[in-house]
Structure 1
Amino acid sequence: MTAAHLVASIGWTLVEFIWQGALIGCAVALAMSLLRNARAEHRYAVACAGLVLCLVWPALELAARLAGPPDLAAQSAAIFAGGLVAGPLDEGWRAVLERSLGWIVVTWGVCAVVLALRMIAGLLWLQRAAAVEGRDPVWQARLDRMALDIGIARKVRLRIVAQLTSPVTFGCWRPVVLVPASLVSGMPLHLLEALLAHELAHIRRHDYLVNLLQNVVEALLFYHPAIWWISGRIRAERELVADTIAARQLGEPRRLALALSELERIQFSTQHLAQAANGGNLMQRIKQLVRPDTQALNWKAAVPVLGLALAALAGCTSTTPVNPFAAMPDNETTKPIARFNTCARPVYPAEALASKIEGTVTMGMLVKADGKVREAIVRQSSGNASLDETARAAIAKCSFQPGTVNGAPKEQWTEVQYVWTVG
C-alpha cells in the first residue's frame, strides 16, 4: 500500500462522512423526538447507538478502501460531488476535492492529535488528583455504605479536591469520586449524600467507559456537527438516568432536586457557570425530578430534520457503487479497447534507458462513453516510478473503443498493460 493510497482512502472516507453523519444525525433526532416522553434510558440507548454507528460506518469503509485497489478510494468523489451537484459541475467538485485531499488529511490529523492530547491531559490530571488529594475517613465510610446499598461490590474511593466545582467520577475497575472541597464545607450533609448517590449511579452503570468512547469519537470526527450534538444528548440523557437511579435509591426525589439546586447556587457564588458534573442542564434535571411533564411534538422543528434526512438519502442513492469493477447488473457487457494508433508511443525515460531498466506497467483506465479517458491510474507498478508515470500519461491520451452494456456505450473501467523493453 502506497502513501498516496493511504491518503486517498482516509481523505475520501472523511469527505463521505459529511453526508453519512448528517443522515445518522437526522435519524437520531427523529428517534429522540418520537421518544420524547419515553424513559431516559431509551433515549440514551438510541443516542449511543447513533454515535457508535458514526464510528463503525466510516471505519468499515476505510478498511474496504485500504484492502482494495488504489482507485477504489477515489470513487467517493462521485459520492460527494454527484450527491450534491449535478451535470458538468461534478467534474469541478471532483477535481477540487482530489487536489485538496492531502491538506484535508493533514488538517484532520493535526486537530485529532490535539484533541487526543487534551483528553489524555485531562485523564492524567484526574489520576494525579486521585493520588495526591485529600482523604476524609468519615465521608469514605459513608460512601462505602452507600455503594453497598446501591449494589456496587468493588471499592469506591473518595477524594476531596479544591479545584473542582462539581463532583466527578472516573475509572472503571478502581472507580474514584472527586468531590469539590467547597461542597464538603458548604453543603448540608444530607444534600451532599444525594449528590454522591448520583455519582454512584454512574459507577454502577459503567458510564465512564461510554464517556471515554465519546471522547475518542469526538477527537476523530470533530469536524461534523452531528457528532457534538449526539454526544451532547448522550451526556444529558445519562445525567437524567443517573438522577432516576439516585432518587429511587434515596426514596426522595425532592432531596436530590434540592441538592442540585444547592450545587447551582454554590457554583454561581464561585463565579462558575451552572453546569452539572459530566454534562446535563441542572434546571432541566431539577424539573424532571420535581415535576416531570409530557412534551408535545414540535412539528416545526421536525421539518428541517426531515428535509436534511431526505437530502442525505438523495446523496446516498445517487452515487456510484463503491467498487467500480463490480459486475454490472445488465446481461451483455463489453470492455473498452484501446486504439493505440490514436496516441503517440511513450518515450523511454532517459535515466531508465541509460540504466537499461525494463518492466511491465498495468494501468486502470476509466473510459467514458465517448471513448475518452476520464481517469488513469497505475494498478501494478513496473518497479520504476518514471516508467509508470510516463506510460500512464501517454496511454491516457489515447482514444478507446468505448465499452457497451446491452449494445449502448457506457462508462467503464478497463486494464491496459505496457511493456518497457530495451532493444
Structure 2
Amino acid sequence: MTQTDLYRWLLESTCASSAAIGLVLLLRRPLRAAFGANVAYALWSLLPLAVLAASLPARVVRVLASEAGVTVGAGAVAGSAPLADVAGSAAWLLSAWLAGAIAFVLWQVALQRRFRRSLGVVHGGADGHLRAERSAGLPAVIGLRARIVLPADFEIRYSACERELILAHERIHLARRDVLGNALLAALRCVYWFNPLLWIAADRFRRDQELACDETVVTRHPHARRVYGEAMVKTQLSAMPAPLACHWFGGHPLKERIAMLKHPGPGARRIAVGLVFAGVLVAGTAYATWAARPAVRVVDAASAAAPSHQRKQAPRPVVARNEQTDTKARVDIQSRMMAPPKYPSEAVAGRITGKVVLIIDVAADGSVADSRVETSEPAGVFDQVTLDAVKNWKFEPAMENGKPVAGRIRVPVTFEMDRDEGAQAPAPGGNA
C-alpha cells in the first residue's frame, strides 16, 4: 500500500465510521425503549463493520479497457503555477496521524497498567476467581484472558444474594466476550484518535454494554431487582478507566442503570424482533457502505481474445490540442476534450522532466468524478498542475449492456522538454 492509498483509505474509513457512529447515536435510545438494552448494544457492531466495508476491495467489473497516455511539452508553461507538493503534504499528514496513533497506544497501555497497579496484589481464590488487595472498581472482568477479579472485602460488603447477582453480571461479560469488544474499541480509538465522534462513541458504548448486562441479569432474576440495585450502590467506583476491562469507573452510568431496574424488561419475542431488526440494519448499512465505493474495471482477457465480430472495438488514438500553446498530447483512449497540463515555469527554467501516473474515476457521463496521483517523478513537481488539468478532461465512458457506466483508468502523463534537433534530452527528474 502506497502513502496515497493509505491516505485515501484513512479518509474513506473515517467518513464510514463517522456515519456509522452518527446512526448508532441516533437510534440507540429509541431501540432501547422499543426492544431493550441488548438490542441497542448489538447495534454497535455497525461501527467495526463499517470500517471493514470501507477497507474491503471495491467491486471489480471486467471490461475491455485501455490505458491512456499524455505527453506534455515545455511550450505549455504555467507562468505562475506554484510547485505544490501534494504527495509531500499527504506524507506530512500521515506522519502526524501515525505519531498520534502511537501516542494513543502508549496512553492506553499506561491506563491499563495504572489500573492494574491500583488493585494491589492479585492472587487466585478458592472459588477460581482472582482476589485483589483493594476494592475500587471491582468486581470486574479484566484483561484479554478475561478473568473475574473480586474485591478484598467481597464476602463482607455483599450479602449472599447480592454476591450471586454480582457474579451473574460478571459471568455475562465473560460469556459475551465483552473485553474483546472493549479491546476492538480501543484499537479503533488508536487509529481514529483525531475523530471526536469516536470519543463520544466510546462512552456510550460502555454505557450500553453495562445496561445490556443489567437487563439480562434482571430478566433471569426478575424478583431480585431491589437486591441488585442495593448491590450496585455498595460498589466503589474507580477513578482510573481501563481499556481492557469491564469495571466500575468514574464515568459509570450508575444512576441510569438503577433507573432502568424500575421498568419491566422486554419479553423474549420483543428482543428477538429487535435483534432481527438491528441485524438487518447493520448488514444493510455495511453493504451500502461497500457498494457505494466506485467499481474497479479491469481488462477482460477473454473478451480481448474473442473473434472480431464478437469483440468490442478498442478505441483508436486521438490527438488533443491546446489552442493557446499549440502543444500536442498523445492520448490512447477516445477523448472529447483532454487539454494537457501546463508545464511549470520553474521546471522549465531548471529543464526538469518527469512523469505523473494518475488514477482517474470516470463517471457515466464521461466527466472526471475523482482523480489521484499514483506515482510521480520527481515527487511533487508536476502533481498539482496535472490534477488541475484533469478536472476539465472528458472521456468516452465504458459501456456495459449498451449503457455508459462509471469506470476507473490509469493515465500516465509525461513531461518532456522541447529541444533542438540533435540536442541531448535530460534524464527524467534531472537538469539539462
> TM tier, shorter chain?
0.5 to 0.7
Aligned to 2:232: 260
SS of residue paired to 1:161: coil
**8 Å Cα contact 1:51/1:231 also seen in 2:** no
Structure 1 length as normaliser, TM-score? 0.55
Aligned to 2:67: none
**8 Å Cα contact 2:215/2:265 also seen in 1:** no
Flag the 1:377–1:186 CA change in 2: closer, same or farther, 3 A: closer
Query: How many matched pairs?
Result: 329
* Structure 1 CA distance for aligned equivalents of residues 174 and 368 of structure 2: 60
Flag the 1:33–1:286 CA change in 2: closer, same or farther, 3 A: closer
* Structure 1 CA distance for aligned equivalents of residues 316 and 209 of structure 2: 51
Flag the 1:165–1:389 CA change in 2: closer, same or farther, 3 A: closer
Flag the 1:322–1:174 CA change in 2: closer, same or farther, 3 A: closer
**8 Å Cα contact 1:339/1:401 also seen in 2:** no
* Structure 1 CA distance for aligned equivalents of residues 47 and 150 of structure 2: 31
* Structure 1 CA distance for aligned equivalents of residues 409 and 317 of structure 2: 6
Aligned to 1:59: 52
Gaps of 5+ in 2: 61-86, 240-245, 267-280, 299-311, 328-341, 417-423, 426-432
Higher strand share: 2
* Structure 1 CA distance for aligned equivalents of residues 171 and 362 of structure 2: 63
* Structure 1 CA distance for aligned equivalents of residues 145 and 404 of structure 2: 63
* Structure 2 CA distance for aligned equivalents of residues 233 and 241 of structure 1: 12
Structure 2 length as normaliser, TM-score? 0.54
Taking only the aligned residue pairs, the percentage that are identical comes to 17
Say what the alpha-carbon RMSD is for the aligned residues: 5.5
1:229 correspondence with 2:204: yes
2:321 aligned to which of 340, 344, 356: 340
Aligned to 1:161: 134
Higher helix share: 1
1:125 correspondence with 2:98: no
Which amino acid is the alignment partner of residue 120 of structure 1? V
**8 Å Cα contact 1:171/1:208 also seen in 2:** yes
* Structure 1 CA distance for aligned equivalents of residues 365 and 169 of structure 2: 68
Gaps of 5+ in 1: 37-42, 68-97, 145-154, 296-308
Matches within 5 A, 1:3-82: 3-26=3-26, 28-36=28-36, 43-44=37-38, 47-48=41-42, 50-64=43-57
Flag the 1:323–1:283 CA change in 2: closer, same or farther, 3 A: closer
**8 Å Cα contact 2:131/2:149 also seen in 1:** yes
Alpha-carbon shift at residue 33 of structure 1 (Å): 3.6
Aligned to 2:214: 239
Flag the 1:418–1:252 CA change in 2: closer, same or farther, 3 A: closer
**8 Å Cα contact 2:366/2:395 also seen in 1:** yes
Flag the 1:405–1:172 CA change in 2: closer, same or farther, 3 A: closer
* Structure 1 CA distance for aligned equivalents of residues 56 and 323 of structure 2: 39
CA-to-aligned-CA distance 1:84-117 (integer Å, 9 cap, x gap): xxxxxxxxxxxxxx99988976776566555433
Larger deviation: 361-370 or 229-238? 361-370
Matches within 5 A, 1:211-230: 211-221=182-192, 223-224=196-197, 225-226=200-201, 228-230=203-205
* Structure 2 CA distance for aligned equivalents of residues 404 and 205 of structure 1: 50
**Higher RCO (CA 8 Å, separation ≥ 6 residues):** 2
* Structure 2 CA distance for aligned equivalents of residues 369 and 203 of structure 1: 51
